[in-house]
Amino acid sequence: MLALRPNCEHCNKALLPAAEDAMICSFECTFCEVCVQQILANVCPNCGGGFTHRPIRPQRNYVNHNCLLDHPASTAIVHKPVDLKKHKLLISMLKGLAPSFR
């Protein structure tokens, strides 16, 4: 199950469990939508993959106790701003490749 990390790894913006602008890669690296679009160019700096919007876990129990009350979001802050110089090189290597072809 997703950890639902509480912040953007780059800018440290708070991303509550119901944040509609939280984005993740397949390894669950978590960034805000602004950073993904304007800084990262949809390239994860940790794996090179693309991003998708993070699902929102139901707050209440509707089925089988699969909810935030029974499975709370992580509180562990991961803040490691992206080295923009290195990331530009990664973006240039992957230029034109859709995430499904990386």
How many Cβ atoms are within 10 Å of 7's Cβ, its own excluded? 22
List per-residue pLDDT tens for the chain, 102 residues long: 999 999 999 999 999 999 999 999 999 999 999 999 999 999 999 999 999 999 999 999 999 999 999 999 999 999 999 999 999 999 999 999 999 999
Burial 58-88 (b: 16+ CB within 10 A, else e): eeeeeeeeeebeeeebeeeeeeeebeeeebe
Give pTM, 2 decimals. 0.94
Kindly state the tokens that stand for 2. 């997703």
71-89 tens-digit pLDDT = 999 999 999 999 999 999 9
**CATH number 1.20.58 given to 1-88:** no
The distance from CA 25 to its chain's CA centroid, rounded to whole angstroms, is 6
How many Cβ atoms are within 10 Å of 6's Cβ, its own excluded? 20
% of the chain residues with pLDDT over 70: 100
Q: Residue 95: what pLDDT? A: 92
